[in-house]
Structure 1
Amino acid sequence: MATSDKSKRTVPGYFSYYSIENARYSIEAESKVMSSFPDHTNEDKCFILTPRSTQDDPIIMAVFDGHDGSKGSTLAEGMLYSRFINPDVLDELKANPMETLNQLILETEKKFFREIRNFVEEKDDILGTLPKGVTSYEAYILYPEKINRLQEIEPELAGGTTAVIAVVFNNNLYVANVGDSRAIAVYKDQHKQLSVDHGVDNEDELKRLKDLGLDIEQIKRNGRLGSHENTRSIGDYNIKIGYKDVDVLSSATGPPGIAIPSINGPYPINDIEYILLMSDGVYKTLEYLTDPPTSDVYPRLLQLIQEAEKSVDLQDIANKVLQDIKISHEVVYYDSAMTDPRSTVAVNCRKRDDMTLIVLKF
């Protein structure tokens, strides 16, 4: 139940969260029937913690968008949830929110690499036994067992996750993030992105990579950092510990990928109507519904939320919104693919990522 005193908006009017699995579409030529199937199991995770003992406790929300499996997002969700329910951590968070959020994300990064340490050491040991200068083909011919073992190790090293965390207490909002999951504040007449997208279209990130000696023009052409969309994340061995083994990254003077979060705040919450947290599957799916794609998706997202408020129970709003986006995406793909399968919309909408949304309304 929301308080009517805007000077003490410590309890939300409602909160809702949901996550749905990715999909890829195909159309049977003769019957013109569309089918959908997932590329992989849902790699997104999320949680929300509301005040337990006193109204002075914070509201904490988080979304994690895993990639190359759910190992990274599962680890981050589990560790950070356990830390945030610790009373001592809550005291630290209230005393120094920005530094505490920074340390918690870096601690999660360290735990990820502790989990895969044995595989990292085994890989290094095997590589240390191979003669210098041998090509990959020669190594496979001469040392097939070692190369096969290296191939078995690679999936154990893979994986990582974005993270976006929003903390509300003492009438203020703080946001910390790595990667491209987003936090949006919706005011009466405008919305504001409070997180930072960490990708190769971020000029600050490109400058950081250039300072490491990397060819940023090549990186921009590739649209990725090695094989990764995000320049900051939790996990992702290949752009951190293993970056010297990636051709386009091997010239860097230090790890191109980092887990240092962007932390922003405090933002007074008196005039905030909604706080939205989402994985990139939500906003990118909405972007691709038009030709050309539009980045101004939040008015449409807010419209879907407000329509859902009139038709479903409050706890089901995020589910309803994601289902509406899913249906719109399917319809747009089908109509576009039947008209021109090579059109921009048909190509962009032939698949979509996992979608996770948290809605908090004051």
Structure 2
Amino acid sequence: MAAQRRNLMQSHQSWTDDLPLCQMCGVGSAPNCVYGPDGKGTQSHPNEDGHLRFRGEDGCFLYGVFNGYDGSRVASYVSQFLTAELLLGQLNSTHTDDDVRRLLTQVCVCRSVAYCVLRKTLNEKYGTGYQQLSPHSQKVQERLKELEQEVSGGATAVVALILNSRLYIANVGSNRALLCKSSSDGQNQVQQIGRPHNTENEDELQRLAALGVDPARVKQAGQIAGQPSTRTIGDYRVKLNYTDIDLLSGAKSQPIIAEPEIHRNQLDGVTGFLLLMSEGLISALESARGPEQANQEMVAMVAAELAQQSDLEAAAQAVVERVKRVHHDAHASGRQRAARCARHEDMTLLVRTLDYPPSDGLLTPTQGGRIYPVSVPYSNSQSTSKTSVTLSLVMPSQGSLTNGTNTASTVEEGTPTPGQSPTATLQSTNTQTQSSSSSSGDGSLFRQRGSQAAQPDETGRVPPYVDFSQFYRLWGSDHADTQSTLGPQ
């Protein structure tokens, strides 16, 4: 096995090129964006996020989302080494929880140390500015600068390892993992696995305080050397020179560490999906909507897309695009949160289904496929009161209707008579606890459709799927003093 890893490292190809990709997940991404005065967005730096999604042997699957900064090299380096250290025969069903935890910790810590040691070696041998090199060694100097750039920067990581129905989440930094469990009554239980390692995490502040760092100053600053994360991989400038950083100068030992926090869950009998998100994605949604319901909204959007299409890659990308649109709209609104949405960082979302029923969205209407004539947004309401929404729908047969929001829903339907439009009243209640929350965000409004398409009337027209007559009447009553008339005459 050691020889195999050595041969891979000596070759020019990626160490993970020959590993099979997992077909039960999809990844969506978007680059960073800064909005100008005209509202148009521009990319301020190359995309620094990374991810991995591989299927190993003996029931082993490995996924990861990496948020790089000061370049993408650390994120790329760690993702390849992590895969090589875990999926080339090292793990099997006989390994215990302690074995897996120890291996995950060793990989994250060792990769970070390797980066820092390499940079320290360059400094000691050649000096930080390479002044010791003579003028005729320009090529050597250029190569050393390239090496310095290679070991610059850092990354945060959230890694998911599935080994025989055991789920391990290893987190270093401020990325996020959500586990969504779907129940038989259509509700989605949302669980955030672990907490971000940042300047708002009280446990992290206590850890820093034990080392001699003032937690009040760290919390007030909100960042350490330009980054909010208190645990990172790489980042030699902070880890090797922390005594030169004002906030960290009093630390008795290295305060910024790469040790992951590892959580274990059992997946036996679980139906739902797992989400791994980069910090940029969740921060963009929280900036636009607030942090209170961000997890529920994210799950609702994912469930809505999974209900519409069977391509997981397309579903994940569609969710990222929705978050981009929500963030942009919040910026353009000029309202209270507009100032928080002047920019967003790179965004990455990995969706891994867990015995989740595939969508039949590829079917055509005449084959019973789903029809989405209107966009029904998820709700970001934080109220616990019930809300009713009435939609008049023309449908050949009854279907299972849910509101596609981040709330637990019930449906009241009447049985339509021939030629009559059924009316569905969607009642929603919001529930939330500290550890988990409920969501019916499967996005299955108009989820089922009869096998027969609507038949044309005597004029050759097909009846509309949504009847807006009630809206026209209500609008007209509210605007009776106006000269214009809305709706069909």
Same fold (TM over 0.5): yes
- Match in the other structure for 2:6: none
Q: Which residue of 1 aligns with 2:345?
A: 353
Residues 1:175 and 2:200 aligned together = no
| Matched letter for residue 80 of structure 1 | L
Verify: 1:286 aligned to 2:285, yes or no.
Answer: yes
Q: 1:341-362 CA distances to partner (integer Å, 9 max, x unpaired)?
A: xx54111111011011110111
Structure-2 residue corresponding to 1:35: 40
Partner of 1:320: 318
**CA RMSD after TM alignment:** 2.7
> Which residue is equivalent to 1:257?
256
Say if 1:109 and 1:154 are closer, same or farther in 2 by CA, change over 3 A.
closer
CA separation of 1:252 and 1:124: change in aligned 2, threshold 3 A:
farther
Bigger-Rg structure (1/2): 2
| Residue matched to 2:298 | 301
Distance of aligned partners of 1:247 and 1:294 in 2 relative to their CA distance in 1, 3 Å threshold: closer
Question: Does 2:119 correspond to 1:109?
Answer: no
Mapping for residues 260-279 of structure 1, pairs under 5 Å? 260-279=259-278
Q: Deviation of residue 153 (structure 1)? A: 10
Contact 1:14 1:315 (C-alpha < 8 Å) held by counterparts: no
| Equivalent runs, 1:59-208 vs 2, <5 Å | 59-87=61-89, 89-91=90-92, 94-95=95-96, 96-121=99-124, 158-188=152-182, 189-208=188-207
Alpha carbons of structure 1 residues 90 and 154: separation in structure 2 relative to 1, 3 Å: closer
2-side partners of 1:111 and 1:57: how far apart? 30
Letter of the 1:41 counterpart: P
Could you tell me which runs of 5 or more consecutive residues in structure 2 were left unpaired when the two chains were aligned: 1-21, 133-144, 183-187, 355-489
1:57-81, CA deviations, whole angstroms, 9 ceiling, x for partnerless residues? 2111111101121121121112112
Gaps of 5+ in 1: 1-11, 29-33, 130-150, 337-342
SS in 2 for 1:187: strand
Looking at structure 1, the residues matched to 60 and 146 of structure 2 have their Cα atoms a distance apart, in angstroms, of 43
Greater relative contact order structure (CA < 8 Å, 6+ sep): 1
Whether 1:18 aligns to 2:21 is no
Residues 196-242 of structure 1: CA deviation (Å, up to 9, x unaligned): 31111111111111111112111111012233211111012233111
When you count helix as a share of all residues, which structure comes out higher? 1
Residue 124 of structure 1 and its aligned partner are, at CA, apart by: 6.3
152 and 215 in structure 1: CA distance in 2 versus 1, 3 angstrom threshold: farther
Q: Tell me which residue corresponds to 1:212.
A: 211
Equivalent-residue separation in structure 2 for 1:115 and 1:153 (angstroms)? 9
- The answer to whether the Cα contact below 8 Å between 1:65 and 1:162 also exists between their aligned partners in 2 is yes
Question: CA separation in 1, counterparts of 2:127 and 2:326?
Answer: 48
What is the alpha-carbon distance in structure 1 between the residues aligned to residue 240 and residue 267 of structure 2?
39
What letter corresponds to residue 162 of structure 2 in structure 1? V
Instruction: Answer yes or no: is the 8 Å Cα contact 1:119–1:156 preserved in 2.
Output: no
Letter in 1 for 2:29: S
Q: Which amino acid aligns with 1:90?
A: L
Q: Decide whether the 8 Å contact of 2:153 with 2:234 is kept in 1.
A: yes
Structure 2 SS opposite 1:289: helix
Instruction: Give the whole-Å Cα distance in 2 for the aligned partners of 1:47 and 1:90.
Output: 17
Using the aligned pairs only, state the percent identity: 29
Single out whichever of 160-169 and 293-302 deviates more from structure 2.
293-302
The Cα of 1:253 is off from its aligned counterpart by 0.8
Note the 1:226-245 alignment, pairs <5 A.
Answer: 226-245=225-244
TM-score norm. by structure 1 comes to 0.79
Q: What is the DSSP-based 3-state SS (H/G/I as helix, E as strand, rest coil) of the residue aligned with 1:39?
A: coil
2:347 aligned partner, one-letter code: M
**Once the 2 structures are TM-superposed, how far is the Cα of residue 169 of structure 1 from its aligned partner?**
1.8
- 2:52 is matched with which residue? 47
Contact 2:74–2:151 at 8 Å: present in 1 too? Answer: no
Distance 1:353 1:152, change over 3 A: same
Name the aligned partner's letter for residue 62 of structure 2: I
Structure 2 vs 1, CA of residues 93 and 321 (structure 1 numbering), >3 Å: closer, same or farther?
A: farther
Native 8 Å contact 1:176 1:264 kept in 2: yes
Contact kept, 8 Å, 1:225 with 1:231, in 2: the verdict is: yes
* Counterpart contact for 1:120–1:157, Cα < 8 Å: no
Distance 1:115 1:241 in 2: 11
